[in-house]
Amino acid sequence: MPSNGTASTAPYRPTSLDFINRPNPVEPQSVQQQYPLNGTPRIEQTSKEGLPRLLLDSLNSSTAERPAKRRKSGDVGSKLDLPKLPAVKNGAKRMRIPPTLSGLHQPPPNAGLLPSISTEQPVRVAGGTQAQANSAIDKPLLATRVPESSTRAKRSPKATPKSVSTSKPKRNKWSDEETACLLKGVARFGMGNWTQILKRPDYHFERRTAIDLKDRFRVCCPDEYRTSKKPKDAPPPQDGESITTSNQDTPTQPVSARVERKSSAELRKIGIEEPFEKSKRRPRTNWTEKEDETLLKGFEKYGNSWSSIRHDDALNLSHRQPTDLRDRFRTKFPDRYREAGLAPRPEVFPKKPDRKRINRNPTDQIENQEDDAFEPSTASALIQPGSASASKEKENKDPYSGQPSKPVPVTSLLQYDDVFWGAPLDPDDNDFDRPTLDRGILDWPNDIARPTVPASASINPLVTMRPRPTLPDPSMVSGISQNNGTLPSLAELTSSVAMDREFMEQLELPTLAAVLGEMRHQRRTGGHVPSLEELLS
């Protein structure tokens, strides 16, 4: 239920109208936007040469007037500095696109007939694909190692025509070679460094993740694994072997149940003579109810100043690191964490996708037929925001009352969680391509044939298709968005978006190449830099 008192404090959420009514980057705008979409200089504030300079600066100077940001390896600076979405609360995640434009993330209904939009092949690191480009330090462990190219080929539909119609085999059994690589890796790098082992170019693994390696080691050397985690426990039975695994040639447990266990003789056979190095990670220490209780008190007193909580002797949490306090609070009290304006942990796709759950559109299904292994880092980039779905729903209870947490007040037809917002967006992150809207988006309200909108979406097609002759007044935008801090209804938005053909044709702009070409020509020839009107004409 919306609260009238929140009108002045509710955070502003961009709507699709903000984007549709965004100042034309070429055409001066008479009405100042109430919520400029970013700090991009306004065209109308520039001189006649303002546009050319702005364009050239964007192309020539990737760092000018931009704050320091996290940059990832693939980030190139020479992008046209298109406007960004407005920043929201400090530290809070921002939605990538407004809800009514979320359909742009979805393929057309017949997208299954189209090739993938992506031009990049997913990187498959598991199995050393990435790391094998690096120089090998050690000699290859196994003479029979399968070249990584064949690894993929072996899994490709072409190599195994059966897999085109049927899914891949469910189980991916560990071969002796893989197991040897794993054990050898643990002997070299120690337990716990699974990713390091996985990425070594001289070890070969068949579509494994770091978790897979850990699980396999846990199966092969359970006692070694266990004792490394609980050093205070009673040591395993000693049998005089130099390797302190209890999976010895004279096991204390029935052999039949531990056929995967590797004996010390087997370990020696692959060159492992010494005990495995212990993990350097701190041991896990689960949280007690008392700790949770005091953590909550500490948060109520100090907020997210985790160090203050830690150093408050009355709270008795000094044995926890500040980041541990944060981690626990984020896990235990997600609602409180979110209410504090802190971004919840995003829900990530499973590494090995379950098609039934993940593939929401035909395009994904096609891609997954070609490449069905998710690399962790890739998977984490494909984040479902909101985290309120599926398994997280059980968390959506107030930690105090146990009652379901209050939903986001929405009075519209379109519920906040009904739409796909895209991945959470770092306000300072410019690693991604900025949203670009095809002008065809403006056609959709007038498109009579819209079979993709299900009745369950609560969209009244008669309302959404109602034509409007002109663009809405910009003041209407703020009127909608500011009324009470709630989202506008889909009907409001769509009726505002609809417009006539004549106006849309006026939106046609010269291409950037044409603009720049004209400018460069004029500069070379000493002519004047064309004005906006001249360019548009």
Partner DNA sequence: ATAGGGATAAGC
Partner DNA sequence: GCTTATCCCTAT
User: Distance between CA atoms of 454 and 331, rounded to whole angstroms?
Assistant: 35
Q: How far apart are CA 75 and CA 407, in angstroms?
A: 37
Q: What angle do CA 354, 357, 363 make, to 5 degrees?
A: 85
Render 253-280 in DSSP notation, one character per residue: S-GGGGTTPPPHHHHHHTT--SPPPPP-
CA 215 from chain center: how many Å?
A: 25
Nearer to DNA, 1 or 259 (CB): 259
Q: Which amino acid is at 301?
A: K
Nearer to DNA, 9 or 73 (CB): 73
Minimum distance from CB of 67 to DNA (Å)?
8
Q: Which two tokens stand for residue 224?
A: 């070694």
Measured from the CB atom, is 13 or 93 closer to DNA? 93
Residue type, 238: Q
Q: Which is nearer to DNA, 327 or 418 (CB)?
A: 327
Q: How far is the CB of 437 from DNA (least distance, A)?
A: 24
Phi-psi region of 280 (alpha: psi -120 to 50; beta: other; left: phi over 0): alpha
Give the N- to C-terminal CA distance of the chain in Å, as an integer: 51
Question: Taking phi first (over 0 means left), then psi (-120 to 50 degrees means alpha), and beta for anything else, what does residue 308 get?
Answer: alpha
CB of residue 232 to DNA, shortest distance in Å = 12
Helix (H) or strand (E) holding 519: helix 512-524
Smallest gap from Cβ 432 to DNA, in A, equals 11
Number of residues that make up the chain: 537
Q: In the complex, what is the shortest distance from the CB of residue 68 to DNA, in angstroms, rounded to a whole number?
A: 6
Least distance from DNA to the Cβ atom of residue 203, Å: 14
Q: Which residue, 88 or 366, has its beta carbon nearer to DNA?
A: 88
Q: How far is the CB of 210 from DNA (least distance, A)?
A: 3
Q: Residue 225: which of 199, 265, 258 has the closest Cα? A: 258
Nearest CB to DNA, comparing residues 13 and 326 = 326
Q: How far is the CB of 133 from DNA (least distance, A)?
A: 17
H or E stretch at 348? strand 347-348
Q: Compare residues 49 and 426 and give the one whose CB is closer to DNA.
A: 426
- Tokens representing 173 are 């059994």
CB contact burial 155-190 (16+ within 10 A = b; e otherwise): beeeeeeebeeeebeeeeebeebbbbbbbbbbbbbb
User: Closer CB to DNA, residue 333 or residue 416?
Assistant: 333
Which residues on adjacent β-strands are paired with residue 397? 404
Burial class (CB in 10 A: 0-12, 13-18, 19+), 467: exposed
Q: What tokens appear for 450 in the block?
A: 């819209």
Nearest approach, Cβ of 198 to DNA (angstroms)?
7
Q: Which is nearer to DNA, 387 or 489 (CB)?
A: 387
Query: Least separation, in Å, of the C-beta of 416 and DNA?
Result: 19
Contact set with DNA (CB under 7 A): 68-71, 91-93, 171-174, 191-196, 210-212, 214-215, 225, 229-230, 279-287, 304-308, 320, 322-324, 326-328, 330-332, 342-343, 345-346, 348, 350-352, 354, 376-377, 380-381, 391, 424, 426, 428
Closest to DNA by CB, 97 vs 191, is 191
Read off the tokens for 161. Answer: 């025509």
